[in-house]
Structure 1
Amino acid sequence: MAESTGKTKQDTGRLPSRVEAAIREQEAQNEILIGWVQLTVVSIWSVLYTLSPKTFAETARFEPIPWVLSAYFAFTILRLVLSYRRLLPPWFLALSVIGDIVLLMVTIWSFHLQYEQPASFYLKAPTILYVFIFIALRSFRLEVGYVLLAGIGSALGWLALVAYAMVVDPTDPMITRDYVDYLTSNAVLIGAEFDKVISILMVTAILAVAIHRGRRLLVRAVAEGTAARDLSRFFAPEVARKITHAEAELSAGSGEHREATILYVDIRGFTALSARLEPKQVLRILAEYQALVGPALRRHRGSIDKFLGDGVLATFGAAEPDSAHAANALRAIRALLAATRDWTPDAELLAPGALRICMAAASGRVVFGAVGDAERLEYTVIGDAVNRAAKLEKHTKALGVRALCDGATRELAAAAPDLPGLSAIGEQSVEGTDGSVEIYEIRED
């Protein structure tokens, strides 16, 4: 046999497309959150600017801050609209990061014009603290690149402002080594500005490391969440929850006793019929049949243990304890009898009533747990009730009926309301079981 040279996504380290799509959707939701936070920030700036006293503004010939805030507000609105429409390509996100930093730095730079002060005046503005908000905002995206871009951009922007303040007036660079003079005047203390840059870079580095680790956790969580949803399609939801929420690693032999009712459903004559049908036709009939059986079982707290070709093995009270397991099984049988009474899956192939769906229930103590080996595990039920249900279903053919249950099921459900009619057949020998079995026919009405 030729050896395949193709590689799976697991081989190449790539995530399945559905997992990548889930991560992209989470990132899109985070971008919406970022947009709203940015809108809140620019709104706060606008309110603070409107309410703050403007001692020097009255004599100023130009007020750039309203223009800067207006441009930033418009940019933020555009970004928010695009985020809702999922139209934020990577280049636009990078542009958005740069735009945030540029607009912030321009706003800070404009202070010395607004208040007619030396350029070094803006270096004392607490507005520089907003860079930490913009850097932290990028952590929502859980992509290191955008955080690094925001942090390094902020550090370079602040260095540019410091350099401008030092060279704008060649006759007076306003540099001082006196800390008191720095705090009480417009003088520039190189060490203090260096501390600000170091703080920006350190916060950026810490966030980048945290985001790198956090993204790995996000990918794992999304992958496991997707796997859990997939498991619920291959297993009963109760079993899927057991697997995904197990506190310890599952292994063969882990299980527990349950008082449960087992229900076996089968299509009479389907094996012979499938031999003369095309595979596509066989699977179509099975899909339609299983679409009838599954909802009826789940409505009455039944769990599908497995599909056995045209057979369905279901449990009541095994995957999750249920004191009314026998009554629920009988109600599910009544629903199945009604749903499949006149079922003809393909009128062109089959005459009405050509397929006859039969079923049987048996109750008793079973073991519910994991079986298999280290490479392949399966949750299932083991016990006499399982065998009895399967054999009783086969016995429906000998009796010419569609649904049977054993005496244990009838006794457990006797006091429950709203049950289907039961007709006593009596004790009979059933092939494949030990001794005789008390049998009841289950009627639809």
Structure 2
Amino acid sequence: MDNGKAVAPLRRRAGWVGYILRGGPRQDGIPERVRAEIRMREDSAERLIGWVQLAMVVFFAGLYSLAPRAEGADGFNFVPLALAAYFLFTVLRVGLSYRFALPAWYLVVSIIVDVALLCALIFSFHIQYGQHPTFYLKAPTLMYLFIFISLRALRFDPRFVLITGLVGVAGWLALVGYAVLTDMGDMRITRNYVEYLTSNAILIGAELDKTIIILGVTLFLSVALYRGRQVLFDSVRDHAAAEDLKRFFAPEVAHTITDSDEALTAGRGEIRNAAVMFIDIRGFTRTAAGLTPATVMQVLACYQKEMLALISAHGGRVDKFLGDGILATFGAVEPSETAAADAVRAACGLPAAVERLVPRALACGWPEPLRAGGAVTYGALTVGVVGAANRLEFTVIGNTVNRAAKLEDANKAQATRVLTDLETFEAARTQGYREAPLDLRPAREVAGIAQPVDLVVLA
């Protein structure tokens, strides 16, 4: 028991060390495609960092070339060399970032080079101005270190922010150490702030303040990014899920689900006038029973692709695939003033679409010419969410939906291919449909519908 208590803190510490070294939470359980999306965004951020740094060096080079030379700078000027070296290194890094994903070790090396060039430039000031090394401790150029630290935050990986800050602290402490340990001359350590500012004296507290500020900024940014990295993972995963939803739902439905201000719950819906179309392959179950699953699925894929194109071309949306059946809606997801006319036009195009499918279905192994029937109805229906708390479905329900299913079945008894009822056809005519029907069959009995139906044959 005592051993277990002693091991637990070690495991927690090891967990924290692993958390820091990984740059945040584990990626276990995150799909590879999501991890690939995260890597792509990180690579894009790395290119952005390179371009920002390149813009910085070009800006400062231009500014340096236009500004008059500072008075008292009689020694060798290292600034042009530092800017040229930084420019070449940055161009190399930007170029490489477009060829492949820069490995972590290269990014660490580039951070060290960035900070080393900055520290070398600061160090050169006492040579350039002929002063004691304490002179460079007062140079405002140190502030550029914060730009390097904040630039690393663009990648959203806290490890590189942390490394930049720690390397910067190490570089600054090395500069302070050199100034303190070199030949003192007229330099001395003081506690007088005025003397520190107006002479070559060193105020240890001031240098500690700079170090603490660099560490503080680094740690605060790192903690924020460690906390934000989980948000990044969740955000990318949710984005990928939302994109996947668009493949399973109509885009408008996907947006309704992902952009809803409140969590969707079963029982939410609204009544809307819309058209419904049912499509079904004739003799599918009988024929499919003698074929391999691969052949059946291949034929279904061709059929569903063709039907989806037909429905979408007329402004419809597939509500669901029902094996060889398809339930499509017009004006249900988004209100439409021409829903009935659009649905009738799509239904009239069904026979030609099926004819185009016949050669492909035969080539896939379907033993006979493909045949399909359809039906269209228009009226009030409920659009909304059904199901239970952990299993929801966005769908349409109501008598208009049931009526379309019954009319589609009636094609067999009527020896037709596409049917609608007179009410739907008249609504389509009101909405701009001008084609004449193939046939009118008033007061026909339809299985599952209590009252006789005035049928309109579209094909």
Specify the TM-score bucket, using the shorter chain as the normaliser: over 0.9
1:406 alignment partner AA:
D
- Cα gap change, 1:419 to 1:97, in 2 (>3 Å): farther
C-alpha separation in 1, matches of 2:70 and 2:261: 65
Instruction: Give TM-score scaled by structure 2 length.
Output: 0.89
Out of 55, 77, 81, the residue aligned to residue 40 of structure 1 is: 55
1:301 alignment partner AA:
G
1:400 is displaced (CA, Å) by 1.9
- Cα gap change, 1:256 to 1:418, in 2 (>3 Å): closer
Matched-pair contact (CA < 8 Å) for 2:377–2:404: yes
Instruction: Give TM-score scaled by structure 1 length.
Output: 0.92
Matched-pair contact (CA < 8 Å) for 1:56–1:115: no
Q: Which runs of 5+ in 1 are unaligned?
A: 1-10
Q: Which runs of 5+ in 2 are unaligned?
A: 1-25
- Cα gap change, 1:381 to 1:48, in 2 (>3 Å): same
1:172 is displaced (CA, Å) by 4.3
C-alpha separation in 2, matches of 1:65 and 1:194: 27
1:342 is displaced (CA, Å) by 4.2
| Matching residue of 1:106 | 120
- Counterpart of 2:153 in 1: which secondary structure? helix
Matched-pair contact (CA < 8 Å) for 2:381–2:399: yes
1:59 is displaced (CA, Å) by 4.3
| Matching residue of 1:137 | 151
Percent of paired sites with the same residue: 47
Matched, 1:393 2:402: no
Root-mean-square deviation (CA, aligned residues, Å) is: 1.9
285-294 or 171-180, which deviates more: 171-180
Matched, 1:73 2:48: no
Matched-pair contact (CA < 8 Å) for 2:275–2:340: yes
2:271 alignment partner AA:
H
Matched-pair contact (CA < 8 Å) for 2:375–2:418: yes
Matched-pair contact (CA < 8 Å) for 2:382–2:397: yes
| Matching residue of 1:428 | 444
**CA offsets per residue over residues 39-76 of structure 1, 9 Å max, x none?**
1221233223323333568743x332222221111110
Matched-pair contact (CA < 8 Å) for 2:416–2:457: yes
**CA offsets per residue over residues 362-402 of structure 1, 9 Å max, x none?**
11111111112222111111111111111111111222221
**Aligned residue runs from structure 1 range 286-325, under 5 A:** 286-325=300-339
C-alpha separation in 1, matches of 2:210 and 2:436: 82
Matched-pair contact (CA < 8 Å) for 1:285–1:346: yes
Matched-pair contact (CA < 8 Å) for 1:372–1:378: yes
Out of 386, 389, 404, the residue aligned to residue 374 of structure 1 is: 389
C-alpha separation in 1, matches of 2:27 and 2:156: 22
- Counterpart of 2:362 in 1: which secondary structure? coil
How many residue pairs match? The answer is 431
1:426 alignment partner AA:
P
1:183 is displaced (CA, Å) by 1.8
1:397 alignment partner AA:
K
1:166 alignment partner AA:
V
| Matching residue of 2:14 | none
Out of 207, 223, 246, the residue aligned to residue 193 of structure 1 is: 207
- Cα gap change, 1:326 to 1:301, in 2 (>3 Å): same
229-238 or 168-177, which deviates more: 168-177
C-alpha separation in 2, matches of 1:109 and 1:427: 99
C-alpha separation in 2, matches of 1:169 and 1:49: 32
C-alpha separation in 2, matches of 1:186 and 1:337: 94
